[in-house]
Amino acid sequence: MSVSYHDSNARMSQITIHNGTVYLAGQVPGDATADMRGQTEQVLARIDELLARAGTSKEHLLAAQIWVTSMAEFDAMNAVWDAWVVPGRPPVRAAVEAKLAKPEWKVEIMVTAALPEG
C-alpha cells in the first residue's frame, strides 16, 4: 500500500493519502484579524480547497478535530460549521479548548475524508 504526500515541507504535509483515505493537516486562518466566524469560514474554505485537490470533498468526511481558543466563542464556530457540513453526513467530531501556536488564531480544524469510490 502506497502513501502519497502533498504540499510538503521538511516538517509536515498538508495532505496525506493512504488506502483510500485523505488526511489533512490542521488548518488555520490566513487572516487572523477576523473574528471567530470569519476565521472559521477561512479555515473551512481552505479545507474545501485541499479536499478538492486530493480528489474528494466534504461530502466524504469521516472525522474532524476542532480546537478553539475560547469556549465563549464555541457557538460562533458551530454556526459556521453547521452551515458548512453536508446535511445528513456529519463526520465524527471532537472539539476542545486549547492554546494554539499563534495567539491571534481562534480556531484550527483537522479533517479526514474518504476518496469517492469509482
Residues of the chain with pLDDT under 50: none
CA distance 56 to 50: 9
The residues with which 15 forms a beta bridge, in sequence order, are: 6, 24
Query: Residue 60's Cα: distance from chain center in Å?
Result: 13
Q: Which one-letter DSSP state was computed for residue 11?
A: S
What's residue 117's pLDDT?
87
| Cβ–Cβ under 8 Å, residues 86 and 58 | yes
Beta-sheet pairing, 13-18 with 3-8 = antiparallel
> Distance of CA 117 to CAs 21, 23, 68, Å?
11, 17, 33
What's residue 53's pLDDT?
97
What 3-state DSSP class applies to 44? Answer: helix
pLDDT, tens digit (0-9, with 9 covering 90-100), for 50-68:
999 999 999 999 999 999 9
What's residue 108's pLDDT?
98
What 3-state DSSP class applies to 18? Answer: strand
| Interacting residues of 30 by C-beta distance below 8 A, sequence separation 6+ | 42, 46
